[in-house]
Amino acid sequence: MSFGGLERRDSGKPMGEINMTPLIDVMLVLLVIFMISAPLMTSSLRLDLPQSGAATPSDAPQSLAVAINAAGELFIGDDKLPAAQFQQRLQQQGQARPDTEVQLRADKGVPYGQVAELIGWVQAAGMNRIAFVAEPAAKP
């Protein structure tokens, strides 16, 4: 037969090439997994942020993430703190680095008075750079 697929002529000689296709397939699958899971690892605190057309993330060199949820609970980063400890941590951060940008995340269900009180605590700690974090507005 002229097809030649059934006979082995070089059975004793090892294969000298590496098949790269399976390696590339595995790497692409890992890349997709990391691309999907990376945004989920940014913050474990769930807030219903207001939407704004001017919402762009800031790349400040020194920043402090401060949040207040709909129940009025205060957070620095992912640490939930009572009001007294919250103010104390703000004071410590303000004394150590007064040029720190405070990134304020407030649930849209939080009354304005509580947000204003939180801003007052930040300013009393000596930090005057306050950024309001919002979600980008949905494009129509």
pLDDT tier at 12, thresholds 50, 70, 90: low
Polymer length of the chain? 140
Q: What is the pLDDT of residues 48-74, one digit of tens each?
A: 666 666 555 555 468 888 999 888 889
Query: What is each CA distance from 50 to 7, 17, 63, 75, 132, in whole angstroms?
Result: 70, 57, 21, 18, 10
Parallel, antiparallel or unpaired: strands 63-68 and 101-106: parallel
Cα 88 from Cα 92, distance rounded (Å) = 6
CA distances from 51 to 70, 76, 101 (A): 16, 22, 21
Average pLDDT over residues 90-103: 88
Radius of gyration over every alpha carbon of the chain, rounded to an integer in angstroms: 27
Q: Is the pLDDT of residue 31 over 90?
A: yes
Residue 25, pLDDT score = 93
CA distance 122 to 124: 5
Cα separation, 98 vs 134, in Å, equals 24
Say what the pTM is.
0.56
E-only strand ranges, the chain? 51-52, 63-68, 74-76, 79-81, 101-106, 129-132, 135-136
Between 2 and 110, where is the model more confident?
Answer: 110
**pLDDT of 1 strictly over 50:** no
Q: CATH assignment of 51-136, given 3.30.420.270, 3.40.50.970, 3.40.50.300, 3.40.50.150?
A: 3.30.420.270
What residues does each domain of the chain span?
Answer: 51-136
Q: In this predicted structure, what is the pLDDT of residue 30?
A: 93
Average pLDDT over residues 17-41: 86
Average pLDDT value for residue range 95-115 = 87
More confident residue, 1 or 76: 76
Per residue in 110-131, pLDDT (tens digit) is: 888 888 899 999 999 888 888 8
